[in-house]
Amino acid sequence: MGKITEAAVSAELKKHISDNIVDRSVAVEPDQPLRDLGFDSVAIIDLILFIERKFGAAIDDKDLVPENLYSINTLAKCAMKYID
Amino acid sequence: MRAANKQEKIYLTGADCFILALELHNKHAGITGNTCRYVLETEGRLDARQIEDLINSQPALQELSSFTLGRSMIFGLPYWKQGTPKRIPVEEWNSDAFIPDVILERNLSLEGAQLFTFDVLHRSEDRSALIFSWNHLILDSQGAALLLSRILVGEKTGPLTTEEKKDKWTVGGMIKGYKVTRFVKRSARKPLTGDYSNTGSKYVQQQIGCVSFDESETKAIDENVLNSGSKFGPSAYLLTCCAQEMMHFMQQKQMAVSNFWVPVPSNRRKKGAKGPLLGNHLTFLFYRLAGSKLASAQESVADINDQMMRQMRKKMPDYYEALLKIVKRVPLVLYYSRIKKPQGKSISSFLFTLADDHPAALEQIMGINVENAWSFPPNIYPPGITFAFMRFKGMLRVMILSYHEVLSTDEMELFKNGLRQRLLG
């Protein structure tokens, strides 16, 4: 298997959000604030747990900060630190 | 909008059946049903007759007005059946009261003629308020906001109902139900606080308190949310402040404080979804707040974050939803006794909800500016204390619902001020 890139993580997150979290009428952009998509605490945690399941990357508590949980791209960048 | 056929039965969701079981709790306490309210305060005078004509011309409202509750022959499963649409009157009142008692005490029971009502209050200085009241069984708060956006400003919304798959009893579903039941039992183990009644009266009288924050105050609260470590959103901080205020209130009254147990609803609609409107689409997360951890907001928030993460990791919200679908076949009285089990008399230590933001589409009604909006959930008694949070134009609103048997008028004022100061830090 090739090396996982930040862009691939971002694309997987976007697909997960489109398929499972937001209504299909909602357009999802990787730089858009998750809050603008209507994300609440349950949806944020769902995303963190998706990264754990999909990439085996358990993000450390110290990195679960608003700057990293801001958008798909910021979360993907943060997740990369934990992906081998 | 998908319309139900005349003869079509629309079976209640699992969450609806939970709400239905709570009707029994309310009846035992002598309170007026599972009533929710949405209050829209306007800068100008609303014309009640124009509103009446407008809302009654809307197919969505006509359809909802025709629903009555039925029960199937087998298992007695509750369902909505469609009859003849009723004209919904809009009553007019001259009053400066926030919600006059006549509206607050109106019984929107399932046996009554109407499951929702509209009232227009004419206040001094040419201001008005539109109050939409409804039985929680027919709409949840998001469904109500969607309905109001549709019937008042013609906002395009999604379907009235969804074609739900038939819920079947499966081994997988039973295992999920067993796991979540075991979890709830452990989470709600004694000792818990939850009985604040002063009088033990059979008739209880509602009271509400509203706390509003302006832009800069809301910004300060948002900073407190971050400083407290409430990293997944504001709910952990807001819940902590409510529990701290409850503890303070109990200490003032020299009541014993142990642990708080609070079920928090979570909306199951997808984010940005404009439907379905009918019914309740909820599951719950359950928090046990140890009195010993409430001295520090940071410690309490960390504990709530941890409980939230653990429940999500174990898929408890999904399992609870599965459980609600299974137990809807259980006779209502038995179902109700299960709900009450954790605490005996009271169903929780208090109730807490963080509602969606007020929809931008509803910032005007018939060309008149809406200057404030409030969404009130029902207040289950006992415990008889509910905290609800929402945002109007980005500014935080807090609604405290109680009963005179639980908080006196003076105590409600102290409670409002105390919570305001606590949230502002």
* Residue that the structure tokens 């009446």 belong to: B52
pLDDT at position B387 is 98
- Is A59 an interface residue toward B (CB < 8 Å)? no
CB–CB contacts below 8 A, A to B = 57
What pLDDT, in 10s, does the model give residues A44-55?
A: 999 999 999 999
In eight-state DSSP terms, residue B331 is -
Average pLDDT (B153-172) is 79
pLDDT above 80: residue B7:
no
pLDDT at position B33 is 66
Q: Give the pLDDT band of residue B166 (cuts 50, 70, 90).
A: low
Residue B336, both tokens: 């109700």
Average pLDDT (B356-363) is 95
Average pLDDT (B100-120) is 90
What pLDDT, in 10s, does the model give residues A62-82?
A: 999 999 999 999 999 999 999
Question: Pick from B295, B300, B299, B155: which is nearest to B240 by CA?
Answer: B300
Alpha-carbon gap, residue B164 to B172, rounded angstroms: 19
What pLDDT, in 10s, does the model give residues A18-44?
A: 999 999 999 999 999 999 999 999 999
User: Which of A37, A41, A65 to probe by mutation at the B interface, max B CB count within 10 Å?
Assistant: A41
User: What angle do the packed helices B297-313 and B215-228 form, to 10 degrees?
Assistant: 70
Three-state DSSP state, B12:
coil
Average pLDDT (B122-147) is 96
Neighbours of B338 (CB within 10 A): 13
Chain B 270-299, residues with CB within 8 Å of chain A CB atoms: 270-274, 285
The DSSP string of chain A is: -PPPPHHHHHHHHHHHIIIIIB-TTS---TTS-GGGGT--HHHHHHHHHHHHHHH-----GGG-STTTTSSHHHHHHHHHTT--
pLDDT at position B1 is 43
Q: Give the pLDDT band of residue B162 (cuts 50, 70, 90).
A: confident
In order of B43, B184, B214, the CA distances from B125 in angstroms are 9, 51, 22
What pLDDT, in 10s, does the model give residues B38-96?
A: 999 999 999 999 999 999 999 999 999 999 999 888 778 889 998 999 999 999 999 99
Average pLDDT (B388-404) is 96
Q: Is the dihedral of CA B420, B311, B391, B21 positive or negative?
A: negative
Facing B232 at nearest CB: one of A21, A25, A44: A44
Facing B272 at nearest CB: one of A23, A45, A64: A23
What pLDDT, in 10s, does the model give residues B183-198?
A: 998 999 988 888 777 6
Nearest residue in B to A46, CA atom: B312
Residue B338, both tokens: 């299960």
Q: Give the pLDDT band of residue B290 (cuts 50, 70, 90).
A: very high
The percentage of residues in chain B with a pLDDT greater than 90, rounded to a whole number, is 69
Q: What mean pLDDT value characterizes chain B?
A: 90
In eight-state DSSP terms, residue B202 is S
Threshold 0.90, pTM exceeds: yes
- CB–CB contact A66 B231 (8 Å): yes
Question: Pick from B197, B203, B201, B210: which is nearest to B407 by CA?
Answer: B197
- Is A58 an interface residue toward B (CB < 8 Å)? no
- Is B232 an interface residue toward A (CB < 8 Å)? yes
In eight-state DSSP terms, residue B229 is T
User: Which of A42, A46, A68 to probe by mutation at the B interface, max B CB count within 10 Å?
Assistant: A42
Amino acid at B417: N
